[in-house]
């Protein structure tokens, strides 16, 4: 047997030296002679090229050709690592700045720490280990750098690696039954997925948005896909002019969104109900909404507006001209607050883009009337509010009228919604109801103010009479008491 080992050593010595493996790596020499799969895969492994022997992960004495010595527990032999021991073995090197520097690596050394904080660090259904180990994604004996097309975590391969678990219904049911398992199928239909399929390594894939070792739940405020963080995640690529140059699309979407009504609500006021990029473009099936789908996207939140528009005369006109419905008037990324200035015939009104006294005049005059009505409601509401404040400051009971004022505010909000019907009669009905409320409130508030002055005047007269009586009584008493 000794002779066999020497013969085997001689035959593989040249091969070992060519591959920069130490001549005394008896583990590799023996397994190569057996022709087993791990040793064949290990030839292309980055660790093999760095001169790391089998013992680096499996333990033992790789310098001894005696199996009992080489695989003795005294020498630290652990055999095939199981469960979390796999990742902790990887971490002995990959979490040490000193060790990684000695091997000339510039990789970060916090991967294991990040993995332990991630959703993948949850306990598996066996109850004895994390869901994911390093080898789950990187492989075992054939590990190569992430920039190598042969790597399992190369950009063009990462989606298949993730989908091995995330597209497996029975596997995912063990951890999160509510999580969909069609993300990969949706991704293939997205603009990212279609470009990815052509071999584009720059386009977004799983780790571009979710991260790699430190993947967190979307409900975690530290997650890259938490609603408040998602716009910045998308902006990493979409706001980089150099990175996006080859795609010939704008890179100012995030700047516009940040200053929009939606962006301010989400990023400044932290209103998680406000839409982020994925609410309009989709998540895994991300794609720009088309002309026909814009209204459907907006209508998921603005349902009544969409319903009114669908029954309006503009619906047919927009379809004929192939105009996107909501976007034509409101824009897309830079949507502004729906102020009264958007309606009417002033230079700032969106109606004048299509309507004028000579071009589509009917719409022009309807818009003008609508603006006059809504301005009238605004003035009446402002007058009513002013009178209510005045009455309150005078100490008068005006709570009923003040409560009624909410109906006027509601009518004004409804009028802004009813604009989307582009029906003057329906719009006038809503505004008229609001004006009626404001007139009632004005009347009640004015009565309270008049009552205040009446009481004040009466108090003054009463005070004067009492004063006169008091002085008269004083003078009379003084008179009868005098000698």
Residue 5 has pLDDT above 60, yes or no: no
Write the CA distances from 372 to 279, 324, 343, 359, 407, integer angstroms: 35, 28, 10, 21, 20
pLDDT, mean of residues 61-83? 87
* Helices of type H across 218-340: 230-238, 241-244, 253-258, 261-263, 277-281, 294-299, 303-310, 313-321, 325-330
Residue 14 has pLDDT above 80, yes or no: no
Residue 373 has pLDDT above 60, yes or no: yes
The rounded distance, in Å, linking the Cα atoms of 369 and 460 is 49
Instruction: Check residue 227 and give left, alpha or beta (phi > 0: left; psi -120 to 50: alpha).
Output: alpha
**Local structure of residue 214 (DSSP, 8 states):** T
Give tens-digit pLDDT for 415-469: 989 999 999 999 999 999 999 999 999 999 999 999 999 988 888 899 999 999 9
The rounded distance, in Å, linking the Cα atoms of 219 and 93 is 32
Which of 424, 386, 393 lies closest to 408 in space, CA to CA?
386
195, two tokens:
């470009």
Which of 297, 275, 285, 93 lies closest to 185 in space, CA to CA?
285
Residue 281 has pLDDT above 60, yes or no: yes
- For residues 238, 241, 247, 251, the Cα torsion angle rounded to the nearest 10 degrees is 50
Q: How many Cβ atoms from other residues are within 10 Å of residue 252's Cβ?
A: 12
pLDDT in the model for residue 16: 38
pTM check: above 0.75: yes
| Least reliable range by pLDDT among 12-21, 291-300, 339-348, 399-408 | 12-21
Residue 360 has pLDDT above 90, yes or no: no
């Amino acid at each position: 047997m000794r002779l066999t080992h020497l013969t085997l050593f001689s035959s593989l010595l040249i091969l070992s030296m060519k591959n920069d493996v130490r001549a005394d790596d008896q583990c590799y020499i023996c397994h190569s002679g057996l022709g087993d799969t791990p040793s064949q895969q290990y030839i292309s492994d980055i660790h093999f090229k760095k001169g790391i022997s089998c013992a680096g992960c499996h333990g033992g004495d790789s310098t001894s050709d005696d199996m009992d010595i080489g695989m003795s527990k005294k020498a630290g032999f652990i055999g095939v690592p199981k469960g979390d021991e796999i990742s902790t073995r990887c971490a002995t090197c990959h979490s040490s700045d000193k060790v990684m520097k000695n091997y000339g690596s510039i990789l970060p050394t916090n991967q294991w720490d990040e993995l332990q904080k991630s959703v993948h660090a949850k306990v598996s259904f066996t109850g004895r280990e994390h869901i994911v180990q390093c080898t789950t994604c990187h492989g075992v004996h054939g590990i190569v750098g992430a920039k190598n097309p042969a790597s399992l975590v190369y950009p063009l391969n990462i989606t298949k690696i993730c989908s091995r678990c995330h597209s497996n219904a029975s596997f995912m049911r063990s951890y999160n039954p509510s999580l969909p398992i069609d993300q990969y199928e949706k991704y293939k239909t997205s603009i990212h997925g279609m470009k990815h399929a052509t071999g584009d390594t720059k386009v977004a894939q799983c780790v571009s948005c979710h991260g790699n070792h430190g993947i967190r739940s979307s409900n975690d405020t530290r997650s890259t896909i938490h609603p408040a963080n998602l716009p910045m995640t998308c902006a990493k690529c979409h706001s980089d002019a150099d990175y996006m140059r080859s795609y010939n699309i704008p890179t100012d979407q995030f700047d516009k969104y940040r200053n929009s009504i939606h962006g301010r609500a989400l990023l400044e006021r932290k209103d998680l109900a406000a839409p982020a990029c994925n609410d309009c473009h989709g998540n895994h099936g991300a794609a720009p909404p088309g002309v026909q789908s814009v209204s459907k996207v907006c209508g998921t939140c603005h349902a009544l507006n969409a319903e009114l528009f669908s029954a309006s005369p503009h619906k047919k006109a927009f379809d004929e001209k192939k105009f996107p419905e909501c976007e034509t008037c409101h824009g897309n990324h830079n949507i502004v607050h729906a102020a009264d200035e958007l309606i009417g015939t002033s230079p700032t009104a969106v109606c004048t883009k299509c309507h004028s006294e000579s071009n589509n005049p009917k719409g022009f005059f309807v818009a003008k009337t609508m603006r006059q009505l809504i301005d009238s409601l605004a003035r009446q509401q402002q007058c009513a509010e002013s009178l209510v404040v005045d009455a309150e400051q005078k100490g008068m009971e005006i709570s009923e009228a003040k409560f009624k004022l909410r109906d006027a505010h509601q009518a004004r909000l409804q009028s802004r919604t009813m604009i989307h019907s582009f029906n003057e009669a329906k719009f006038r009905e809503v505004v008229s109801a609001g004006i009626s409320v404001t007139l009632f409130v004005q009347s009640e508030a004015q009565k309270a103010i008049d009552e205040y002055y009446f009481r004040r005047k009466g108090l003054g007269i009463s005070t004067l009479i009492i004063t006169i009586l008091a002085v008269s009584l004083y003078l009379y008493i003084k008179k009868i008491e005098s000698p």
